[in-house]
Amino acid sequence: MALRSRQLSATEHVRNVLDRLAADTCNAVIALDAERALAAAAERDAELARGDWRGPLHGVAVGVKDLIDVVGLPTRAGSDVLADAPPATADAPVVARLREAGALIVAKLHTHEFAYGPTGDVAATGPARNPHDPSRITGGSSSGSAAAVGAGHLPLALGTDTGASVRTPAALCGVVGLKPAFGVLPTDGSFPLSESLDHIGVLAPDVHAASVAWDVLSRADGTGGGIQAPGVNGVRVGLLTDEYWRALDPAITKAVEAAAARLQARGAQLQEVSTPMIDELAATYPVIVGAEAYATHAQWLAERPEDYQPITRERLLPFADQPARAYVDAMRTRRRLTAAFRAAVADLDVLLLPTTRLRATPIGAAEVEVGGIDVAVRPQLLALTLPFNLTGWPAASVPGEVADGGLPAGVQIVGVRLEERGVLRVAGALARD
Amino acid sequence: MALRSRQLSATEHVRNVLDRLAADTCNAVIALDAERALAAAAERDAELARGDWRGPLHGVAVGVKDLIDVVGLPTRAGSDVLADAPPATADAPVVARLREAGALIVAKLHTHEFAYGPTGDVAATGPARNPHDPSRITGGSSSGSAAAVGAGHLPLALGTDTGASVRTPAALCGVVGLKPAFGVLPTDGSFPLSESLDHIGVLAPDVHAASVAWDVLSRADGTGGGIQAPGVNGVRVGLLTDEYWRALDPAITKAVEAAAARLQARGAQLQEVSTPMIDELAATYPVIVGAEAYATHAQWLAERPEDYQPITRERLLPFADQPARAYVDAMRTRRRLTAAFRAAVADLDVLLLPTTRLRATPIGAAEVEVGGIDVAVRPQLLALTLPFNLTGWPAASVPGEVADGGLPAGVQIVGVRLEERGVLRVAGALARD
């Protein structure tokens, strides 16, 4: 808006963003593309001066997770394995769509190594740091995207999400993250982690910005929000009752309860629902992602194991011995239990649940104490998001109300009968008045 | 036609068919469903008497490969493993569609054990025998379907096709076999061999009968043939020039040449095309089918190995040691090379090629001599059909002209830009005048 009304030129906006990114203390930035961004900003300004407006992303600075190709820059995927990667020869289609809409690509952003982890503290360039507490993780794997948006550096960033990787860092950094339905956005030009689970997604400071980005990326005409009912009156919201879905951090539970109360106050119908198949469904995830990731990395693991971060290598190597049967069985179970899950929630429009079981944990901590018990961090940051990579349903994380005023807590909205715009509409209803 | 005009009642037709099947010498029949078929025939006759005609399958006898569920009958899949299988509690959807259209299910038909073989001579009930020479194989795995139709017992049969299993027995028994595009017909209620390759298909004495069945199964309105141009004028027909696609039996090569000449005479445009990726694409087939089939059978192989035919067991067991990586890599290669294959033939409407490299071989022969060289039978009966299970394109086998008057030779038509009805239209143009 400020850009269109020329209160701020694209050039000024990009200069501000570049200055902020250059001074970033979250370790969110892998590379700046200052010269080209400024040149493009000048073009966008010239267009605007002659009345040519490309739409709401005209002149808007965007960051891209360093797992996604941006022409002219290497894609290093957070790994020394790709330290010498040549510059990408083309933009990934999602990047190209943003550029066509007038967006200015300003930076490549930090990623957990090869996107294989939900913490963001394992990468060739060191850990990303949470903008709310630099001693804590950002979540991952879209660590730099969440941190840069959460720090206020950027109004929009692209990420990828294979089990958590847009929604979990969004939750931990206090921003909005959208993972669309599987297959809706092309993943070409993005380094694969697990092709049957990989999604491209967006991170933004608020639901409105995420919606604008979604319209551009999905090539909608941008009127979807206008012609749909704007509220949530009558929307059927499922609350999952199984132990599996419970957060460990009471602040997260309270944030979800507050979100439910808010939706109900705005006319949504809350309905409790049980999904007894969730444990067995979730158990297919590590088998599937392990097999697909190992197949990608097998040759490099054999030829240059020392170029991996040790924890990444140690997580991948056991899959060398995984039999094909385990993978085929897991894919069959996944299909069968996705259908069962769908049937269990079939009459709901969305599900409302925590994004993660924990808030941002200390950098490097594999375990944390919760109520006197040591729990492994990684599973708690994956458990509530990965089911919707297995099912392929659209899901968004939005910042919840944090009663204790502490670190951000994410509230997740998953589309069952609603698609991405509907999910964002429900998310929008959660925004503070 | 004879049924609709009441020259022949459904009851008389079914009695004839049941008599023929009872006297079958091809070992094509697993079980007759005489009582229910006759009761249904009486109902169809009563409907016709009051002017209710369900369409061209009204009162037509159909046989079903014993891999596909027919309510009230066990599905034994040609194996002693399923000797005590309980009666199926529901028809497979494809069977239900035929019944709704008035068809009468008269018999379960012979299948190669678990559909895992293209010969039809490995089954708990012994080998199926070719109606043109009882010492020779039918081809498989839809052995009984092809034999019963080829022997003139039945006007229509259902089969399944994972790499060859409708088209190869159709070719060897001198009938028409159609494998539709992947995913067009539901495979529910059919015992899986390899879920990413399995197709349901039909076998019929001629292209017209196959087209009628296809309209019913695909739930088309049956007018597709009428509104399309009936001929092949201007249709672009690709002839594959790579060594891979060549038949070993000169009679088959001549049949394809005759078919090409006939299409050209009717206005089709012939065009030679090379597909250099075919060897690498085809090499993914055994990896994929092996992994998926082994996952299905692993538990039975461990618990009751003696119930398998030895050759089936020996083919499945090595896949116990197959790593997940090999399967994931094969699936990736398959996707990549399917796209390359598609690009190589993108401007063609159909491909014309042999269905098999050999005609029907002696029962039990794992190798045969061709031009003084021993060649393994199985690969020759799979090589030219399996690529279109990998790509998922529709393909039909029709009997070619056999100059030496000997065993049947199959000519295959594969849809590139054309779908099933277009493939059948081209197939129809090959029919003798």
pLDDT 10s digits, B223-272: 544 444 568 999 999 999 999 999 999 999 999 999 999 999 999 999 99
Does residue A225 have a pLDDT over 70? no
Residues A206 and A184 placed together within one structural domain of the fold? yes
Helix (H) or strand (E) holding B234: none
Torsion angle (degrees, nearest 10) of CA B390, B394, B398, B401: -70
Contacts of B197 in chain A (CB under 8 A): none
pLDDT-wise least confident of A202-211, B57-66, B214-223, B410-419: B214-223
Residues A189 and A266 placed together within one structural domain of the fold? no
pLDDT on residue B226: 42
Assigned domain for A289 exists: no
Assigned domain for A309 exists: no
Task: For residue A274, indicate whether it is catalytic.
Answer: no
Residues A198 and A338 placed together within one structural domain of the fold? no
What rounded mean pLDDT belongs to chain A?
Answer: 95
Q: Do A292 and B329 touch (CB under 8 A)?
A: no
Helix (H) or strand (E) holding B35: helix B34-49
Residues A256 and A405 placed together within one structural domain of the fold? yes
Assigned domain for B273 exists: yes
Give the CA angle between residues B1, B69, B153 to the nearest 5°: 40
Exactly one of A143, A145, A165, A190 is catalytic; which is it? Answer: A165
Range of the domain at B266: 234-281+324-429
Q: Do A324 and B329 touch (CB under 8 A)?
A: no
**CB within 8 Å of B126: residues ≥ 6 apart:** B27
Tell me if residue B120 falls in helix, strand or coil: coil
pLDDT on residue B147: 98
Q: What is the pLDDT of residues A313-327, one digit of tens each?
A: 999 999 999 999 999
Report in angstroms the alpha-carbon separations of B122 from A199, A319, B192: 45, 36, 18
**Distance between CA atoms of residues A109 and A397, nearest Å:** 20
Contacts of B326 in chain A (CB under 8 A): 324
Cα end-to-end distance, chain A, whole Å: 21
**Distance between CA atoms of residues A193 and A160, nearest Å:** 10
Closest CA to A108 of A10, A218, A34: A34
**Distance between CA atoms of residues B102 and B46, nearest Å:** 12
**Distance between CA atoms of residues A357 and A377, nearest Å:** 9
Tell me if residue A249 falls in helix, strand or coil: coil
DSSP state of B413: E
Report in angstroms the alpha-carbon separations of A193 from A108, A202, A308: 18, 17, 15
Distance from CA of A323 to the nearest CA of B (A): 4
Does residue A227 have a pLDDT over 70? no
Q: Which two structure tokens, joined as six digits, stand for B238?
A: 């690709």
Residues A113 and A234 placed together within one structural domain of the fold? no
pLDDT on residue A403: 80
B45: domain CATH number is: 3.90.1300.10
Residues A261 and A161 placed together within one structural domain of the fold? no
Does residue A253 have a pLDDT over 70? yes
Residues B104 and B185 placed together within one structural domain of the fold? yes
Exactly one of B79, B143, B165, B194 is catalytic; which is it? Answer: B165
Residue of B nearest to A316 (CA): B325
**CB within 8 Å of A305: residues ≥ 6 apart:** A313
pLDDT on residue B225: 46
Top-confidence residue, B432 or A314:
A314
Residue of B nearest to A192 (CA): B332
pLDDT on residue A405: 80
Residues A148 and A205 placed together within one structural domain of the fold? yes
Find where tokens 């020759």 sit.
B380
Task: For residue B211, indicate whether it is catalytic.
Answer: no
Q: What is the pLDDT of residues B59-105, one digit of tens each?
A: 999 999 999 999 999 999 999 999 999 999 999 999 999 999 999 99
Does residue B6 have a pLDDT over 80? no
Using CA of residue B258, residue B262, residue B265, residue B269, what is the dihedral sign? negative
Q: Do A320 and B323 touch (CB under 8 A)?
A: yes
Tell me if residue B4 falls in helix, strand or coil: coil
Q: Which among B195, B324, B332 has CB closest to A324?
A: B324
Contacts of A322 in chain B (CB under 8 A): 323-325
- Residue percentage of chain A with pLDDT more than 90: 94
Assigned domain for B308 exists: no
Average the pLDDT over A22-34 and give the result. 98
Helix B250-265 to helix B420-429 angle (10° resolution) is: 100
Average the pLDDT over A336-343 and give the result. 98
**Distance between CA atoms of residues B306 and B80, nearest Å:** 9
Contacts of B295 in chain A (CB under 8 A): 324-325, 328-329, 332
CA atoms within 13 A on the CB side of B146: 40
Q: Is the peptide bond before A141 cis (omega within 30 degrees of 0)?
A: yes
Residue where a domain stops, chosen among B192, B209, B226: B226
ipTM here:
0.89
CB-based contact B410:B172 (threshold 8 Å): yes
Find where tokens 């054309």 sit.
B418
**Confidence band, pLDDT 50/70/90 cuts, at residue B336:** very high
Residues B222 and B91 placed together within one structural domain of the fold? yes
CA atoms within 13 A on the CB side of A381: 34
Residues A133 and A33 placed together within one structural domain of the fold? yes
Assigned domain for A288 exists: no
Residues B219 and B238 placed together within one structural domain of the fold? no
pLDDT on residue A222: 52
Q: Which of B328, B331, B333, B336 to mutate to test the interface with A (most CBs of A within 10 A)?
A: B328
Residues B52 and B118 placed together within one structural domain of the fold? yes
Total domains in chain B come to: 2
Task: For residue A65, indicate whether it is catalytic.
Answer: yes
CB-based contact B282:B383 (threshold 8 Å): yes
The length of chain B in residues reads 433
Assigned domain for B421 exists: yes
Does residue A230 have a pLDDT over 90? no
**Distance between CA atoms of residues B87 and B33, nearest Å:** 12
Find where tokens 């009882």 sit.
B134
